Structure 1
């Protein structure tokens, strides 16, 4: 199953552009971690679209990237899910604002991880080589 419906791809792209512009404004104002004030629907669409971009960049089923409550996507080649619990051996969880910051290059994977805002389990728990997406 796709993380975004085909008819929503353009809306997702626009939502991600809006989010990024607002986050860049926050960063220029000196607070890159300030929340971006977008409608909930647009934030969800930006997350779904960015995860779609990630899945296109790194297809596979060995690492699950979860951005609750909006979406999760499986990426990268390697051992797939255990057939009994369907969870890949490597799992990464992020809050939507954190995910969008690293996806858009507002902050780095390493900075967010060092700040304790990324939960990652497994051997392939570093997505820095795939980011930013835009």
Structure 2
């Protein structure tokens, strides 16, 4: 059984809080998971696995599905970088150049998917 979906109201509030310097670990975890959830909703598929340890991972992007073993297309980064990538605080190419994100595989390029459209409720 999969993890329960994070509702927009909760997820969006967590993202706004997680972008502040004083954000706690629980808020950061919810924000990371919510933004991963939105990415998977916006780019459905199972070609690329996006990992943000220790908080979560999703499969996304249309194309050949991966079912067993190590995925051929993997993106991995830390929570702070993921929050910045997903909200537009840093560009995909900049994060790659800084070494803040690891991307392996021919399809492990999220530049067309980032930033994600995560704000659905008025601020």
TM-score band, normalised by shorter chain: 0.7 to 0.9
Normalised by the length of structure 1, the TM-score is 0.79
Gaps of 5+ in 1: 23-35
Q: Where does residue 58 of structure 1 map in the other structure?
A: 43
Higher helix share: 1
Over residues 42-97 of structure 1, what are the superposed CA-to-partner deviations in whole Å (9 max), with x where a residue is unaligned? 000000000011001100111100000000000012222253x2x32201100000
Q: Where does residue 15 of structure 1 map in the other structure?
A: 14
Q: CA deviation at 1:129?
A: 1.0
CA contact (8 A) 1:102 1:132 kept: yes
Q: Where does residue 85 of structure 2 map in the other structure?
A: 102
Q: CA deviation at 1:19?
A: 2.5
CA distance in 1, matches of 2:115, 2:65: 25
CA distance in 2, matches of 1:80, 1:132: 23
Number of matched pairs: 116
Gaps of 5+ in 2: 118-123
Structure 1: which 4+ aligned runs deviate by more than 6 Å? none
Question: Match of 2:103, SS?
Answer: strand
RMSD over aligned CA atoms reads 1.6
For the pair shown, the structure with the greater C-alpha radius of gyration is 1
Normalised by the length of structure 2, the TM-score is 0.86
CA contact (8 A) 1:64 1:88 kept: yes
